[in-house]
């Protein structure tokens, strides 16, 4: 069946369509129906089923004879390590850790925070939680202690599983002080912490810490515990408009069904094929496509610990693809831009045989035409942009290449996937004509695998997503759809920005800056950046009477954001202004600031980190009277 027929088949009978997709999952108790309408625009999928994610991602493959196949290939140029974990070994490791967690009293519904770098043990920890019905919340290693503390207080974990360190080029990220700092800041205290000691930087153990290996001594292996279809598989925090992150909840059964469907139909892989998503387990792409989907589908997943450039060179991606025979590769446009900047002629690429590769998939931020075309020419395979969000957990719009490869229109992530009735709405909530801009919304119910609510924040869920357009989920993105149903994602409608494929809240950065004693008022905007897509730039109005050097204050502000949110915020630039552009009612005109700054940023082939751009932005603000000369 081609795409249109499949989409129409879903539309004609959504529940029947999803029940058929559900046949690919091993159920302890099969669902009697697909959709449960809870009223008030709330829905759950396969809620009356019983199932276990870990069984579907690990045990069943061993049972079906895939035990000796690699489940995980670990390739870490940053530590110069390569290894493989077969499905047999994964089963042993996961049931060992799950058994130890259970012996310490972690059970059904208990939360466990995972704070780990890109090592196979991160996946083992996620799956061990799933095995015993515990709910994990993975926190990205680039966040600072405060962000970790906020998550600890929100999901009140019984345990934390962490590594002693992460590794960034040229520096060791010591996790332990961050972890200790977070636990000290948080009101909630977990019962214990399991630490994976890494030889690159082992840490001192505290009274509540237990070593990953010692922890499992003397405990027995745990079996899979079936959970209800609507049991939370995990909570993943993502940036919203305010400083408080949103805890996106993922229900177990829908997650299994939807992710499994995508592997063949979108990513074109068969069980046994090697699939690689070069992201991080701390992001949704890492949850869905480093850990869960490839394993649920019986693929081999690559856990890559390194950077696209500099570890050791711009050929790293191509080496990994070639060496491990990667069939489908998924990364963020930023990563490709980084490679292109370093090796525009593709000299590194020439060194590798990439005949194994079938397609490159891009997501996480807008894919600019230059990047798409360069990658396509370089790799000689189709490059598929696809659009999704932490909230949805999988593709809203993409090219269903496994079903039918649709023509690529550069600049569009292609068409809505079955499950998503995507509409472009005007301010009044009415659909607009093809080609017209509007807010992108999805008609309820959302498909299986998408968020049913926010953790501890049902009201916020409703307010953030369901109230602006009754009967729809508000995506927070604006764009248009053409006559062929191709979507174009143009901008966020809120204060979320996307820096190097990382979703960040300008509101959160403003909260931190406003805490500086010399800052009276501030705004943070996302300015176009040639490498990272967007980069945050701060506008600071100082408290009357402050006459310290501006550079000093800016430096303190930059440090403050790094210390409180983390290096991943990539907040490096701010300008001191006399006043912020505002409406009469006092609302900051962020759009105006972005336009002024973008105008300058586009004039030169540089990134925001180059001070010359900042000078230009400042000059433009001065001309408009927002800053003194």
Per rule CB under 6 A, is residue 332 in the interface with ligand COA? yes
Q: Which is closer to ligand AMP, CB of 502 or CB of 618?
A: 502
End-to-end CA distance of the chain: 65
The span of 160-168, 252-260, 380-388, 511-519 binding ligand AMP (CB under 6 A) equals: 380-388
235 DSSP 8-state letter: E
Residue (437 or 531) nearer to ligand COA, CB: 531
Joined together, the tokens standing for residue 86 give 């077969």
Q: 307 contacts which partner out of ligand COA, ligand AMP, none, CB within 5 to 8 A by kind?
A: ligand COA
Q: What residue 366 binds from ligand COA, ligand AMP, none (CB within 5 to 8 A, per partner kind)?
A: ligand AMP
Question: Which residues make Cβ contacts (< 8 Å) with residue 385, sequence separation at least 6?
Answer: 333, 361, 362, 363, 367, 372, 398, 399, 412, 413, 414
Number of H helices, E strands in the chain: 20, 31
The pair of three-digit structure tokens given for residue 553, joined into one six-digit string: 């204050």
Residue (of 149, 150, 157) closest to 193 by Cα position: 157
Smallest distance from ligand COA to CB 503, Å: 8
CB closer to ligand AMP out of 205 and 244? 244
Stretch that binds ligand AMP, among 113-121, 220-228, 269-277, 384-392 (CB under 6 A): 384-392
The residue from 166, 254, 364, 393 that contacts ligand AMP (CB under 6 A) is 364
- Least Cβ distance, residue 77 to ligand COA (angstroms): 13
C-beta of residue 359 within 8 angstroms of C-beta of residue 346: no
SS3 assignment, position 110:
coil
Signed CA dihedral, 104, 108, 113, 118: sign only: positive
Considering only residues 447, 501, 533, 581, which one is a binding residue for ligand COA as defined by CB under 6 A? 501
Residue closer to ligand COA, measured from CB, 386 or 618: 386
Contact 395, 388 (CB under 8 A): yes
Alpha-carbon distance of 522 to 367, in angstroms, equals 30
CA neighbor of 113 nearest in space, from 64, 174, 156: 156
CA distance 97 to 222: 8
Q: What is the rounded CA–CA span in Å between residue 442 and residue 421? A: 5
Peptide bond into 435 cis (omega under 30): no
Candidate residues 240, 243, 413, 538; the one interacting with ligand AMP per rule CB under 6 A: 413
Asked whether position 240 contacts ligand AMP by CB under 6 A, the answer is: no
Q: Which tokens go with 243?
A: 């400083």
Judged by CB under 6 A, which of 334, 371, 412, 498 binds ligand COA? 334
Using rule CB under 6 A, residue 280 touches ligand AMP? no
CA distances to 36, 153, 219, 221, 277 from 456, rounded to whole Å, are 21, 11, 33, 32, 30
Q: What are the Cα distances from residue 314, in Å, to 308, 343, 346, 521?
A: 6, 6, 9, 42
CB under 6 A: which stretch of 133-141, 388-396, 575-583, 621-629 binds ligand AMP? 388-396
Partner touching 568 among ligand COA, ligand AMP, none, CB below 5 to 8 Å by kind? ligand COA
Distance in Å, CB of 17 to ligand COA, minimum: 28
| Residue 503 touches which of ligand COA, ligand AMP, none (Cβ within 5-8 Å per kind) | ligand AMP
371 contacts ligand AMP (rule: CB under 6 A): no
- Cis (ω within 30 of 0) for the bond into 312? yes
Distances (CA, A) of 576 to 539, 552, 570: 6, 11, 18
| Strand runs labelled E in 125-168 | 135-138, 159-163, 165-168
Q: Per rule CB under 6 A, is residue 476 in the interface with ligand AMP?
A: yes
Q: Applying CB under 6 A, what is the total number of residues that bind ligand COA?
A: 25
- Which of ligand COA, ligand AMP, none does residue 538 bind to, with CB < 5 to 8 Å depending on kind? none
Residue 567 engages ligand COA in binding (rule: CB under 6 A): yes
| Residue 142's binding partner out of ligand COA, ligand AMP, none, with CB under 5 to 8 Å set by partner kind | ligand COA
Taking CB within 5 to 8 Å according to partner kind, which of ligand AMP, ligand COA, none is near residue 516?
none
Answer yes or no whether residue 390 interacts with ligand AMP by CB under 6 A.
yes
Q: Please tell me the chain's helix, strand, coil percentages from 3-state DSSP, rounded to the nearest 5.
A: 35, 25, 40
Rg (CA), the chain: 24
List 322, 389, 423, 450, residue binding ligand AMP (CB under 6 A): 389
Token code pair at residue 387: 């659009």
Q: Rank residues 141 and 438 by Cβ distance to ligand COA and give the closer one.
A: 141
Distance CA 341, CA 258 (A): 36
Q: CA torsion, points 47, 52, 57, 60, in degrees to nearest 10?
A: -120
| Structural contact between residues 332 and 281, judged by C-beta atoms closer than 8 angstroms | no
**CA 355 and chain centroid, separation:** 29
Query: What is the total count of residues that contact ligand AMP (CB under 6 A)?
Result: 20
**Sole window of 112-120, 182-190, 363-371, 584-592 interacting with ligand AMP (rule: CB under 6 A):** 363-371
Nearest distance from C-beta of residue 283 to ligand COA, angstroms: 5
- 97: contact with ligand AMP by CB under 6 A: no
Binding of ligand COA at residue 279 (CB under 6 A)? yes
Q: Which stretch binds ligand COA (CB under 6 A): 166-174, 258-266, 381-389, 520-528?
A: 166-174
Residues that bind ligand AMP (CB under 6 A): 238, 284, 363-367, 385-390, 413, 476-477, 489, 492, 498, 503
Residues that bind ligand COA (CB under 6 A): 141-142, 166, 168, 173, 279-280, 283, 285, 307-308, 332, 334-335, 338, 363-364, 499-502, 532, 567-568, 570
């Amino acid at each position: 069946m081609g795409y249109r027929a499949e989409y129409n088949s879903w539309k004609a009978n959504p529940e029947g369509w999803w029940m058929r997709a559900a046949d690919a999952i091993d159920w302890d108790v099969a669902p009697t129906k697909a959709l449960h309408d809870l009223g008030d625009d709330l829905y759950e999928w396969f809620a009356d089923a019983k199932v276990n994610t870990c069984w579907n991602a690990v045990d069943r493959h061993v049972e079906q004879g895939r035990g000796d196949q690699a489940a995980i290939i670990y390739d870490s140029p940053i530590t110069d390590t390569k290894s493989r974990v077969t499905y047999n070994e994964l089963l042993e490791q996961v049931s060992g850790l799950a058994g130890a967690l259970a012996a310490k009293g972690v059970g059904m519904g208990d939360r466990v925070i995972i704070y780990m770098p890109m090592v196979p043990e991160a996946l083992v920890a996620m799956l061990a939680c799933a095995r015993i019905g515990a709910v994990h919340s993975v926190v990205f290693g680039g966040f600072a202690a405060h962000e970790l503390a906020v998550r600890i207080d929100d999901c009140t974990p019984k345990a934390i599983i962490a590594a002693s360190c992460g590794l960034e080029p040229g520096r060791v990220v010591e996790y332990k002080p961050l972890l200790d700092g977070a636990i000290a800041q948080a009101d909630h205290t977990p019962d214990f912490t399991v630490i994976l000691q890494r030889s690159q930087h082992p840490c001192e153990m505290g009274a509540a810490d237990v070593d990953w290996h010692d922890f499992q001594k003397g405990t027995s292996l745990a079996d899979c515990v079936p959970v209800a279809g609507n049991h939370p598989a995990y909570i993943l925090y993502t940036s919203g408009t305010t400083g408080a992150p949103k805890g996106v909840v993922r229900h177990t059964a829908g997650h299994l069904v939807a992710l499994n469907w995508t592997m063949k139909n979108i990513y074109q892989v068969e069980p046994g094929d090697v699939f690689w998503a070069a992201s991080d387990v701390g992001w949704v792409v890492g949850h869905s496509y480093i850990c869960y989907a490839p394993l649920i589908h019986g693929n081999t997943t690559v856990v890559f610990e390194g950077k696209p450039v500099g570890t050791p060179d711009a050929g790293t991606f191509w080496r990994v693809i070639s060496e491990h025979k990667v069939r489908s590769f998924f990364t963020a446009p930023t990563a490709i831009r980084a490679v292109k900047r370093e090796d525009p002629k593709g000299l590194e690429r020439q060194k590798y045989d990439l005949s194994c590769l079938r397609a490159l998939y891009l997501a996480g931020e807008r894919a600019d035409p230059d990047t798409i075309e360069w990658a396509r020419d370089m790799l000689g395979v189709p490059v598929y942009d696809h659009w999704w969000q932490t909230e949805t957990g999988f593709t809203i719009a993409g090219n269903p290449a496994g079903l039918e490869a649709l023509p690529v229109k550069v600049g569009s992530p292609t068409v809505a996937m079955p499950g998503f009735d995507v509409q472009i709405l005007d301010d009044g909530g009415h659909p607009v004509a093809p080609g017209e801009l509007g807010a992108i919304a999805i008609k309820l119910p959302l498909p299986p695998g998408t968020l049913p609510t926010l953790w501890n924040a049902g009201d916020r869920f409703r307010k953030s997503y369901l109230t602006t357009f009754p009967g729809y989920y508000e995506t927070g993105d604006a764009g248009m759809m053409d006559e062929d149903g191709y979507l174009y994602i143009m901008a966020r409608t809120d204060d979320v920005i996307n820096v190097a494929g990382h979703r960040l809240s300008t509101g959160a950065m403003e909260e931190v800056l406003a805490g500086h004693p010399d800052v009276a008022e501030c705004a943070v905007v996302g300015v176009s950046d040639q490498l990272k897509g967007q980069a945050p730039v701060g506008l600071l109005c100082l408290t009357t009477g402050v006459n310290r050097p501006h550079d000093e204050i800016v430096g303190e502000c930059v440090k403050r954001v790094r210390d409180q949110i983390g290096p991943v915020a990539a907040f490096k630039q701010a300008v001191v202004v006399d006043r912020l552009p505002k409406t009469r009612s006092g609302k900051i005109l962020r759009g105006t600031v972005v336009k002024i700054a973008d105008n300058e940023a586009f004039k030169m082939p540089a990134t925001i980190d180059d001070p010359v751009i900042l000078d230009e932005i400042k000059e433009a603000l001065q001309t408009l009277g927002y800053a003194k000369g």
